[in-house]
Amino acid sequence: MVKYHKYQHWKKGEVYGVFQDEESQKCLSFFCGNSTTTYYPKRTSPKLLYFMFLILLYCCFILIPHYFTSPSTFSLLYSFGVEDARLLLEADTNPSLCSFVPNGTICCNRSSNRTDICIMKGDVRTDSKTSSVFLYSGTGLSEYVLGPNDNNFVNEVLQHEKIRPYTRKWEPYAMSTVQELGLIVKKGNSGNSHLCDVQHNVTAMFFSTSGYTGNLFHEFNDGIIPLYITAQHLNKQVVFVIVDHHNWWIMKYGDIVSELSDYPVIDFSGDNRTHCFPEAIVGLRIHNDLTVCPSLMKGNKTIRDFRNLLDRAYWPRIRGLIEDEEREAQLNLSNLALSPLPVAAPVEISKEKRDVNKPKLAIISRRGSREILNQDALVKMAEGIGFAVEIVKPVRTSELARIYRVLNASDVLIGVHGAALTHFLFMKPSSVFIQIIPLGTDWASETYFGESSVKFGLKYVGYKILPSESSLYDSYEKDDPVLVDPETVNKKGWEITKEVYLDNQNVRLNLRRFQKQLLRAYYYTIAKKKKGNLRLQSQ
């Protein structure tokens, strides 16, 4: 039996149908939970023909963009949300597939538009020299098995799958940077020619850190959150095998990785030893952008559970930073006690104590494009309202624990649309997140950060700038479509969007207009703090 889902995309006039098996659960782009289901009996022949016709239309709809769209354009457009292939926002269309895999077999779920995932069970052995993972059928987990190049015995190939373990499979450019793995089932015989160099007793999980890695949004959206989704149910009893391994990635995300696995990471290409496992998961699951769908998770885990993992990952380091600062402060006080001029120190300390009770506002600062040109004036206005303001200037090499410490203690976050806003994941739920939306970025701003931050539990405000608040206002006529009709400009293609709205646009906020949002955030935060204090007193 087949069921047909219809859902309305957030843009008017676009409705898509999704076919899936009766047993599967679906988490749509903007809704996690049950959807309306209509059942169609098999015995009705006309309806069967009707469904076959719908399937044909569905396949055509999926395939046509691949033939009539430039691969590079399609790839980059989706990266910033300006494309028209909305179906790519779906989660796995059949997550129940491969829920049971017999020993000695491979099951691959290729039903998702975003990612492929294969599961191998039995005698799994790596061979990095040939970019292969072998599964020997019928040999059990003996120490010695026939190797891939051993001609003494016949190793019949029973199954051969190919997979690139990265979560943007529809994007040719991104996937071209990902190493392809061969997953091969062989009918092996016992022998003494191929020793397991390392025998593991837990599951292996293969994934790539290539693609768009290097961009914070993609690092979390395409890698870290899918890693959590795929691995959390294993309770750290998993070995991560990284394809396209980068040392800097391990340095940056090692704290998170250690919360998902009790074992050292394996560099697949850099480690030529034969690693043997009882099971392997190749590829990562993904639900939606910066989102965890509870209906698809064991134990109904949510994006807040992911944030709890970040807490566990970063707080040991943060406590170390705090202890270092306290020791340094005590040392400075000791030195000042011996100094003939100990006048200024108490003033600075008392000022810090007065600021403790002020609502804290963090501003993600950009340079080069989509920069807040009057940021200093914004800071002065926010301080005048009553905020304690901190400027965060993240770069690729920033230590995430330090940024987490600042944002975790902040009540309000402000930033212009861009990958750095992924840091909203470091905020506490019920905090305020104000995204400044430049011209021409409405869809991407709301889809990637607006909607996902609401699911995360933040009080989200999307501040759409006026044309007069854009630096483009000085470069174009006042009635130019660039200013008054950005959607028309975006339809001209990715290169135009990138050149006009992403690379060459800055923001000069109308502070009187923006002040209204700051005041709302301030009074909301004050009321929340008072409510929290009353609750503590009552306890």
Closest CA to 225 of 177, 296, 133: 296
Task: Specify whether the CB–CB gap between 286 and 257 falls below 8 A.
Answer: no
* pLDDT tens by residue, 45-94: 555 565 566 656 555 544 444 433 333 333 333 444 444 344 444 455 56
What's the pLDDT at 331? 80
Looking at 28-42, 117-131, 280-294, which range is the least confident one? 28-42
Counted residue by residue, the chain has a size of 539
Which two tokens mark 152? Answer: 């003494």
- The closest of 112, 4, 113 to 54, measured between CA atoms, is 4
How far apart are alpha carbons 351 and 360 in whole angstroms?
Answer: 15
Count CB atoms within 10 A of the CB of residue 337: 9
Write out the two tokens for 211.
């693609």
Tell me how far apart the terminal alpha carbons of the chain are, to the nearest angstrom: 55
d(C-alpha 117, C-alpha 91), whole Å: 13
Q: What is d(CA 379, CA 363) in angstroms, rounded to the nearest whole number?
A: 9
For residue 17, name the pLDDT band (cuts at 50, 70, 90). Answer: very low
> Which of 317, 332, 325, 420 minimizes the C-alpha distance to 368?
420
pLDDT value of position 166:
98
Q: What is the pLDDT of residue 395?
A: 87
Window from 51-65, 224-238, 246-260, 487-501 with minimum mean pLDDT: 51-65
Residue 22 confidence (pLDDT) above 70: no
**Residues 475 and 424: beta-carbon distance below 8 Å:** no
Most confident stretch, 48-57, 135-144, 323-332, 470-479 = 470-479
pLDDT at res. 48:
57
| Structure confidence at residue 403 (pLDDT) | 96
The reported pLDDT for the residue numbered 428 is: 96
Residue from 344, 386, 389 nearest 363 by CA: 389
- Does residue 351 surpass a pLDDT of 50? no
- If pLDDT is split at 50, 70 and 90, which confidence band does 352 have? very low
Residue of 459 and 43 predicted with greater confidence: 459
Strand partners, 436: 416, 463
Span of 37-46, 201-210, 291-300, 400-409 with lowest mean pLDDT:
37-46
Max mean pLDDT range (36-50, 69-83, 145-159): 145-159
**Pairwise pLDDT comparison (287 vs 355), residue with the higher score:** 287
Model pTM? 0.79
CA torsion sign for 175, 178, 179, 181 is negative
State percent of the chain over pLDDT 70: 72
Does 41 have pLDDT greater than 80?
Answer: no
DSSP state of 340: S
Q: What is the DSSP letter of 298?
A: G
**Widest pairwise Cα distance in the chain:** 98
* Lookup: tokens for 440: 């021409």
Assigned token pair, 146: 């026939």
Instruction: Kindly calculate the radius of gyration of the chain based on its CA atoms and give it in whole angstroms.
Output: 27
Residue 386 has pLDDT above 80, yes or no: yes
Query: Quick check: 492 pLDDT over 70?
Result: yes
Read off the amino acid at residue 54: L
pLDDT at 293: 95
Across the chain, mean pLDDT equals 81
Max mean pLDDT range (2-6, 74-78, 291-295, 355-359):
291-295
Mean pLDDT across 478-497 = 95
Listed range (4-8, 52-56, 305-309) with the worst mean pLDDT: 4-8
486 and 439 Cβ atoms separated by less than 8 Å: yes
471-476: long-range contacts (C-beta < 8 A, 24 or more apart)?
Answer: 471/373, 471/504, 471/505, 471/506, 471/507, 471/508, 472/439, 472/500, 472/501, 472/504, 472/505
- Give pLDDT, residue 253: 97
pLDDT band at 329 (very low <50, low <70, confident <90, very high): confident
Token representation of residue 36: 């309306």
Segment 454-467 mean pLDDT:
97
Q: Which residue has the higher pLDDT, 10 or 288?
A: 288
Residue 255 has pLDDT above 50, yes or no: yes
CA distances in angstroms from 54 to 7, 58, 186, 466, listed in the order given: 16, 6, 39, 43
- Residue 420: CB atoms within 10 A of its CB come to 22
